[in-house]
Amino acid sequence: MRALRATGNRRLLDGNEWNGPEMMGLSVIMMGPPGAGKGTQATRFARERGLLKISTGDILRDAVKEMNPIALAARTKMDRGELVDDATMVEIVRHRLAQPDARCGFVLDGFPRTVFQARALDVIMEDGGNGPLVIIDVTVPEDELVRRLASRRICSNCGTGADPFGSSTTCKTCAGKLVARTDDNQVVVLERLKIYQRATRPVLDYYRMRPTFRIVNGAQAPEVVARELDSMIEEASKASIA
């Protein structure tokens, strides 16, 4: 979708030890219900491995700020916690993945959310140039998700998620004001969890039998989740080429 601004940062490797197949690229899908912490883990993993992170929610929110007509049309659905239509979402991702900085792989956060989108992603990736596709399901019990979402804050200026355990009222990146997301009020949260069960859980079944599908317990401390996730991704990416 040319009209939507492409977002996502590609950063240099930070020097951490990584024994995965760097040269041939690596692509990761971070799955999980809203509030599971997949955005936090996706951002961290992408930064540490020098991969492009693509969050479809961030792309839509940025496009709304820029008054993009397609995003403005999607806004009502976003505010209600409903899914934006598949055709729009697939076009956004197809366009973003066609750019040169996605060539060595990426970390996807928030996509695919339906089986239709998962199938479309397989077609987009058919040439195999983005390296092995590792799928991670971050699981957290529902009552914990509701608790987390009720206290979640993001920066009103740059959209960065705030430290869920912190008490600051300003963003650590740009000092913008921290606010609740418009789709994090309780009615909308329950709707988003319901939609997750109905539309997105079947995506896990679509991927479950692949040798690169892994499940991480997201109810642990973020640094424990990070450690487990890193070794899972490394091991799964090797399994795919063994």
| Positions marked active-site | 38, 113, 152, 181, 192
Q: Are 136 and 40 in contact (CB under 8 A)?
A: no
| Whole-angstrom distance, CA of residue 23 vs CA of residue 197 | 37
Q: Which residues bind ligand AMP (CB under 6 A)?
A: 34, 56-57, 60, 77-78, 81-84, 89, 110-111, 113, 117, 183, 192
- Of 47 and 75, which has the nearer Cβ to ligand AMP? 75
Give 64 or 239: the residue with its C-beta nearer to ligand AMP: 64
| Of residues 104 and 120, the one with the C-beta less far from ligand AMP | 120
- The whole-angstrom separation of Cα 37 and Cα 214 is 16
Nearer to ligand AMP, 26 or 54 (CB): 54
Query: Judging by DSSP bridges, how do beta strands 154-155 and 178-179 pair with one another?
Result: antiparallel
We find the least distance from the C-beta atom of residue 4 to ligand AMP, in angstroms, to be 12
Q: Which residue lies nearest ligand AMP, judged by its C-beta?
A: 57
Shortest Å, Cβ 183 to ligand AMP: 6
Minimum Å gap between C-beta 214 and ligand AMP is 20
Closest to ligand AMP by CB, 137 vs 183, is 183
Least separation in angstroms between residue 117's CB and ligand AMP is 6
DSSP secondary structure string for all residues of the chain: -TTSPP--------S----S-GGG-EEEEEE--TTSSHHHHHHHHHHHHTPEEEEHHHHHHHHHHTT-HHHHHHHHHHHHTPPPPHHHHHHHHHHHHTSGGGTTEEEEES---SHHHHHHHHHHTTT-TT--EEEEEEE--HHHHHHHHHT--EETTT-PBPPTT---SB-TTT-PBEE--GGGSHHHHHHHHHHIIIIIHHHHHHHTTSTTEEEEETTS-HHHHHHHHHHHHHHHHHHHH-
Q: Nearest approach, Cβ of 14 to ligand AMP (angstroms)?
A: 25
Q: What CA–CA distance (Å, rounded) separates 189 from 34?
A: 8
